């Protein structure tokens, strides 16, 4: 978020608001720089040298190369991984007025520049209730594997109303049926799994949980189907991304949607600054006791 916000300092003409004649260039810059910043952050944190973008690679292949290129072991982005990442970024591009998108629109409505507005969206994703769903899935799977909990027991725990345990990756606040994005992610998950040459207990547990839930009347009657976060977390894991990068990848995918919302507001002839209404529900009158009487 800080690095995205700081980008405007490199372009003095954006000190206040993006000049209309430069907005397309600003959008292009941000789309490109976001993946470079993401890859650089990962490599810097792990003590790896920065990898320059390669102009002969596609957007997603370039990102994978900047992430995983090694001077020791030859690396070439797997076409299945490139396809999977491309589809997942598209699936995450927009999803109506979620927390981060609303933040982008609200900050943008003050006529802040695009970098500042997108930085606000990144900050909203910082919160685990919005940007932490993928990690929550992996945390659940890690718990099952490390504590050797049978998947059937996990299903029973999720069904027990008196148990505070919540099964991450199942059900959705908006969809009361199978998340249409999850259907595509599930197909992609199977494709990536087909080229995975190693045995991974996390993946085995995930597949068993999916199978049990899809056959369980409790889950079916309540429309608790695996959601996009369930499959996305597994795919990212199979592709070699550390869990700390999951929210960053979410932000990369959501970026085009944020930009679209920002531009929609920007080009609205009746644009006004965002001002959400607040309905006061406190006491109608409250007696104030003088300080000397307290």
Residues classed as catalytic: 172, 229
- State the DSSP code for 226: B
For every residue of 106-170, DSSP letters joined together read HHHTTT--HHHHHHHHHHHHHSHHHH-HHHHHHHHHHHHHHTT--HHHHHHHHH-TT-----TTB
> Nearest CA to 64 among 45, 42, 86, 82?
82
Q: How many residues does the chain have?
A: 294
Cα–Cα distance, 150 to 288 (Å, whole number): 59
Those residues whose C-beta lies under 8 Å from the C-beta of residue 180, and which sit 6 or more positions away, are none
- Let me know: does 252 contact 195? Beta carbons within 8 Å: no
The H or E element that residue 221 is part of is helix 217-221
């Amino acid at each position: 978020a800080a690095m995205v916000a700081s980008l405007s300092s490199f372009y003095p003409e954006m000190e206040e608001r993006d000049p209309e004649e430069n907005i397309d260039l600003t959008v292009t810059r941000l789309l490109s720089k976001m993946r470079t910043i993401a890859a650089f952050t990962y490599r810097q944190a792990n003590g790896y040298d920065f990898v320059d973008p390669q102009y002969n690679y596609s957007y997603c292949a370039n990102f994978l190369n900047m992430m995983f290129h090694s001077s020791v072991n030859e690396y070439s982005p797997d076409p299945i991984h490139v396809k999977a990442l491309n589809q997942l970024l598209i699936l995450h591009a927009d999803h109506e007025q979620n927390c981060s998108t609303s933040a982008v629109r609200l900050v943008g409505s003050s006529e802040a520049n695009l970098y500042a507005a997108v930085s606000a969206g990144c900050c909203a994703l910082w919160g685990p209730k919005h940007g932490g769903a993928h990690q929550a899935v992996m945390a659940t799977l890690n718990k099952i594997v490390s504590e050797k909990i049978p998947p059937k027991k996990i299903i029973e725990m999720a069904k027990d109303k008196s148990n505070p345990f919540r099964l991450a990756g199942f059900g959705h606040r908006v969809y009361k049926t199978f998340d249409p994005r999850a259907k595509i992610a599930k197909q992609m998950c199977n494709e990536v799994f087909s080229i995975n040459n190693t045995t991974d207990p996390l993946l085995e547990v995930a597949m068993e949980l999916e199978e049990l839930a899809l056959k369980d009347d409790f889950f079916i009657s309540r429309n608790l189907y695996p959601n996009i976060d369930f499959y996305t977390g597994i795919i990212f894991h199979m592709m070699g991304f550390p869990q700390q990068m999951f929210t960053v990848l979410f932000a990369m995918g959501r970026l085009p949607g944020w930009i679209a919302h920002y531009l929609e507001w920007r080009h609205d002839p009746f644009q006004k600054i965002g001002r959400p209404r607040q309905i006061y529900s406190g006491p109608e009158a409250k007696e104030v006791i003088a300080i000397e009487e307290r």
